[in-house]
Structure 1
Amino acid sequence: MNKTADRIAAVAFLAVGALFMVESLRISKSAYGSAVGPNVFPFLLGLVLVLLSIKLLFETRSYPDAAGGKLQRQYKKFLIILAAAIVYAALLETVGYVIMTFLFLVVGFQTMEKGSLWKSIAIAAGFSLGVYGLYVKLLQGTLPSWPIWFQ
């Protein structure tokens, strides 16, 4: 835990979250065929980012002072997650939300902590299907659907 780096990250993410919230108010409030407008998710994501940033700022106050050891950078993990995010964004429309989110989460979980593959699969499947069901079925929003070969 690096107190200074975490504080800088918290302030940066706080600014990004606030920017998301402000800019989401400029998006139209309704979308054709959807009860949830396109401004809802960016606003909620910004709000979550702001709240988590504030939480991190408070947590950094209780960090012990630096113990003198340097933290090892994890470039390999970072590059794997970055590549997975780029592939996720590139294939989201083609492959669909549920499948791409499931694959991205499994890769992310396994990159961060090897092992317990079945646990990663269960959590990723539950999250992907849960968010899709909640947003598309319950709130009548729109997300990239299943691939054409599944319909």
Structure 2
Amino acid sequence: MNKTADRIAAVAFLALGALFMVESLRISKSAYGSAVGPNVFPFLLGLVLVFLSIKLLLETRRYSEATSEKQARQYKKFLVIFIAAIFYAGLLEMVGYVITTFLFLVIGFQTMEKGALWKSIALAASFSLGVYGLYVKLLQGTLPSWPIWFQ
């Protein structure tokens, strides 16, 4: 853990989160056919980013100066998740939210920690179906639906 790098990252993400929140207020408050406007998710994501940045800033105060061992960079894991994110963005509209989110999360979970495949599948399925159900069914928002061959 690098205290200086973590502090710089926390301040940068804090500013980015605040920017998300401010700019989301410029988006229209409502959308046709949806009870939830397009400004809700960017604002909430900015809020989460601000809270996590503050948490990281507070945690860096507890870093001990004695821990100076360097951790190996994990370029392979980064590259796998980066490529998966590109495919996720590219396939989201065509394949649908639930399937692409499920696949992205399973790949991400397995990349970060191999093993426990069934646990990764269960978490990814519950998250993607839960968010879809909460946002689309309960809040009547819109997300890319199921692929054409499922409808």
Shorter-chain TM range is over 0.9
Unaligned runs of 5+ residues in structure 1 are: none
CA shift digits 1:56-111 (9 cap, x unpaired): 10011001115332221000000001000000000000000000000000000000
Matched, 1:100 2:87: no
After the TM superposition, list the runs of 4 or more consecutive aligned residues in structure 1 that deviate by more than 6 angstroms. Answer: none
1:137 is paired with a residue whose SS is: helix
Superposition deviation, residue 145 in structure 1? 0.1
1:87 is paired with a residue whose SS is: helix
Alpha-carbon distance in 1 for matches of 2:110, 2:76: 13
Unaligned runs of 5+ residues in structure 2 are: none
RMSD: 0.8
**TM-score w.r.t. structure 2 length?**
0.98
1:68 is paired with a residue whose SS is: coil
Using the TM superposition, name which of 69-78 and 80-89 deviates more: 69-78
CA shift digits 1:38-64 (9 cap, x unpaired): 000000000000001001100110011
Corresponding residue for residue 140 of structure 2: 140
Alpha-carbon distance in 2 for matches of 1:139, 1:108: 27
- For 1:115, give the aligned amino acid: G
Corresponding residue for residue 150 of structure 2: 150
Corresponding residue for residue 64 of structure 1: 64
1:65 is paired with a residue whose SS is: coil
1:127 is paired with a residue whose SS is: helix
Matched, 1:28 2:35: no
- For 1:64, give the aligned amino acid: S
1:2–1:66 Cα contact (<8 Å) kept: no
Corresponding residue for residue 115 of structure 2: 115
Alpha-carbon distance in 1 for matches of 2:116, 2:150: 28
Alpha-carbon distance in 2 for matches of 1:65, 1:107: 35
CA shift digits 1:13-59 (9 cap, x unpaired): 10110010000000000000000000000000000000010011001
Corresponding residue for residue 49 of structure 1: 49
Alpha-carbon distance in 1 for matches of 2:103, 2:17: 26
- For 2:115, give the aligned amino acid: G
* Aligned sequence identity (%): 85
- For 2:76, give the aligned amino acid: K
Alpha-carbon distance in 2 for matches of 1:55, 1:112: 22
**TM-score w.r.t. structure 1 length?**
0.98
Matched, 1:125 2:119: no
Superposition deviation, residue 4 in structure 1? 1.2
